[in-house]
Each structure stands twice: as structure tokens, then as C-alpha cells.
Amino acid sequence: MLSYTIRRCVVALLLAVSVASLVFFALYLVPGDPATMLLSVGGVEPPAAAVQALTEELGLDRPVLVQYLDFLGGLVTGNLGQSFANGDTVWSMIAVRLPRTLELIALATAISLAVGVPAGLAAALRQGRTVDRLFSFTASVQMSLPVFVVGTAMVYIFAQRLGWVPAGGYVPLAQDPARHLVLVLMPALAISVGFSAIVFRMSRATVASVLTKDWVRTARAKGLAEGRVRRWHILRNALGPVATVVGLEMGGLLGGSVLVEYVFNYPGLSGFLVTAIENRDYPQIRGTVLVIAFLFILLNLLVDLLYMLLDPRVRD
């Protein structure tokens, strides 16, 4: 198991570097010059001399291959470079954003699991009955609601109409814990609307298929308590595919929660990446994509390891 884990980790690292290299070269195919973009914020023309000076300052006048080697060299020493926009190191900027995004994703996942798995189990055990139909119908509605619609409606109702919460934003935990929690809970709930429905559908389907297995009948026949059968025989066997789906969803949220971040003005990693792309801030884009790719791969690795814990057969 250890060698398997190490092998997977090495592959993960190589994958992340390949993704970053791909992004590196793709950026040069996208029209738009970083120096011009940086100096012409707000759609006003920068003087040509200033653009030239900045191009040299940023090292963009060097051959692409030299820039690429520079980038790889930086990677080896753990240096992601400096942002074109403000000269801060890319790593320090990501380090500020990443925990916020991870917190948001963790909270959204926790809510979705807490709602989706029990609901899925309940529906599967009562297939075709009213509860099942009601839950399945609700889940379909939830899945078809775009997150920006849910988010906008939440801001409108809870912030503008009822005045219970601020209209989005972010406050560090240390500064005001209650406000911090409210501000991260709003986008987390918006994400969970669709996410919990996915978890529900997956749980329902896998539990339903496990229920038809012979050993479930055997377990019941030998007189095990129903609660024990559900927890140890049904749920544990059904959770594998759910873990896979949750892992993929979480990975997708790393760079894909941009809409919800916009609606709630939540300063996470996705919005940061979009801004970097708009500004053609190459080091920032590369660094962020690299980190997201790495985390995505890591998440999948964790899911695989979790699989092993859930299902001893995979370990061999």
C-alpha cells in the first residue's frame, strides 16, 4: 500500500507540472499583452514607452523558451514567481486565497453530505413511496437551478429584504467570528443546493443497488438488527461511488466556484484566477492553475485511499 501511495504521488507531481507547462504555452497563444493590459486598466491608453519599459521589467522581451526554463527552475526551488500586477510573490497571494476557498468547499461539502446521504438512504429504503418521490423531485429542481440564480435570490432575500446578513463579502475569522461564519455560510449554502442533490442521487442509486445483494438478505435473515445492517452492510458498501463523486465535485469547486464567488463577493481562488486571466498576469495564472491541478490530483488520491479503507478488496 505504501509503494502504491508513493507511486501515485510521483505521478501526481508529474501531472501537475505537465498541466502547468501546458498552461504556460497556451498563454502565449492568447491575444493580449500583459504590459499593455496592466498599464491600460480602465480602458485608457498607456504611453508606448511605459509599455516598453514594463515589458523589459517583467522580462517579457526574452525568448519564450528562456522564460519557460526560468519558470521550471523556479518550480524546482518552489518559487512560483511574482505577480505582474503588484510584484508580490504568487505563492503569498495564493496562500491568502487558498484557505478561504478550502473553507468554503469544506463547509459546502459537509452540508451536502449531511443532507444528501441520509436523504439518499431514506429514499432508497422507501423506493417508489411518497418520501422517495418528493425527495427525488426536489433534487431534480435543485440540480437544475444555476448557482448564480440561487445566490442572487439569497442575497436579495436575506440581505436586501430581511437585512439579516451582509450582502456578501469576507471578514477574517480572528476579526469577527460570527460575521465570518455568516459570510462563508451563504455561498456554502448556495453551492450545497446543487451539490447535495448530486450526493442524494448518487447515494440513492448505490444504496438501491446494494439492497438487492444476497448478503443483505443474508444479514437480515441471520437476525441482525436493521440499524446495524443499514450502517455496516448497506451504507459502507454504498459509500465508495459517493466518495468518488464528492471528490470530483470538490476538485471542480477549487477553480470552478467563480460564479458563487462573484455573487457573494467572496475573495476565493476562482475569482482570483479569472482576474489574473483578464489582466494577462502570467505568473499568477500559472501558479494558480498549478496549485489547483495539484490539489485536484491530491483529492483524487485521497479518494482512492479512502476507497481502500471502505473496501478491503481494493487493498490487494
Partner 1 sequence: MRNRVIGPKSIPARVAAAAMLALPALAASGPVIAQDNAVLRFGLSAYPPGLDPFRHEGAAGHDVKLQIFRGLLGLNGSGEIVGELAESWEENGTEYVFHLRQNATFHNGEAVTGEDVKWSLEQIRAEGSTAYFKDELQVITEVEVIDDSTVRIKLDAPTPAFLKLLATPYVPILSREAGLEDPVGAGPYRITATEEGVAIEFEAFDDYYKEGYPKTERMRMIAYRDENLRVAALEAGDVDIIEYVPWQSMAKIEDDPDLTLQETTGPNMVLNFNVEQPPFDDARVRRAVCNAINRKDIVDAAFYGRGAPLEGLPLDENSEVADDKTQTLFGFDMEGASAALKDSGATGQEVTLLSSSTYSMHQDTALVIQQYLINAGLQVTLDLPEWGARVAQGNEGQYQFAVNGSGTVVNDPDGLTAMIGSGTPSYKRSYGYSNEELDALLKKGRHELDPEARAAVYDEIAQIVAEDVPLCPLTRRTQGFGLRQGVEGFHALVGSASGYSAFGLEAVTLD
Please report, as residue ranges, which positions from 198 to 237 form the binding site for partner 1 (by CB under 8 A).
none
Closest approach, Cβ 116 to partner 1, in A, equals: 11
185 near partner 1, judged by CB under 8 A:
yes
Please report, as residue ranges, which positions from 284 to 313 form the binding site for partner 1 (by CB under 8 A).
none
Closest approach, Cβ 56 to partner 1, in A, equals: 7
Task: Extract the C-alpha cell encoding 261.
Answer: 464567488
122 near partner 1, judged by CB under 8 A:
no
Return d(Cα 26, Cα 246) in angstroms, integer. 30
Where does residue 29 rank: exposed (0-12), middle (13-18), buried (19+ CB within 10 A)?
exposed
DSSP string, 61-93: TS-HHHHHHHHHHHHHTT---B-TTT--BHHHH
Which one-letter DSSP state was computed for residue 33? -
Return d(Cα 125, Cα 279) in angstroms, integer. 52
156 near partner 1, judged by CB under 8 A:
yes
> Of 6 and 30, which CB lies nearer to partner 1 in the complex structure?
30
Where does residue 240 rank: exposed (0-12), middle (13-18), buried (19+ CB within 10 A)?
middle
Q: How many residues bind partner 1 (CB under 8 A)?
A: 74
Look-up: residue for cell 489547483? Answer: 292
Closest approach, Cβ 267 to partner 1, in A, equals: 4
φ, ψ (nearest 5 deg) of residue 301: -65, -45
CA atoms within 13 A on the CB side of 103: 22
Closest approach, Cβ 220 to partner 1, in A, equals: 32
265 near partner 1, judged by CB under 8 A:
yes
| Helix segments in 145-231, DSSP class H | 147-154, 177-211, 214-221, 226-228
> Of 278 and 311, which CB lies nearer to partner 1 in the complex structure?
278
By the 8 A CB rule, do 75 and 159 touch? no
Task: Extract the C-alpha cell encoding 99.
Answer: 484557505
By the 8 A CB rule, do 204 and 124 touch? yes
Closest approach, Cβ 128 to partner 1, in A, equals: 21
> Of 66 and 153, which CB lies nearer to partner 1 in the complex structure?
153
Closest approach, Cβ 228 to partner 1, in A, equals: 29
User: Across the strands, what pairs with 82?
Assistant: 89
Please report, as residue ranges, which positions from 6 to 65 form the binding site for partner 1 (by CB under 8 A).
30-33, 36-50, 53-54, 56-57
Please report, as residue ranges, which positions from 82 to 111 form the binding site for partner 1 (by CB under 8 A).
85-87, 93, 96-97
159 near partner 1, judged by CB under 8 A:
yes
> Of 249 and 281, which CB lies nearer to partner 1 in the complex structure?
281
166 near partner 1, judged by CB under 8 A:
yes
> Of 32 and 73, which CB lies nearer to partner 1 in the complex structure?
32
> Of 179 and 236, which CB lies nearer to partner 1 in the complex structure?
179
Stretch that binds partner 1, among 20-28, 161-169, 237-245, 285-293 (CB under 8 A): 161-169
282 near partner 1, judged by CB under 8 A:
no
> Of 202 and 263, which CB lies nearer to partner 1 in the complex structure?
263
Which one-letter DSSP state was computed for residue 164? -
Which one-letter DSSP state was computed for residue 1? -
192 near partner 1, judged by CB under 8 A:
yes
118 near partner 1, judged by CB under 8 A:
no
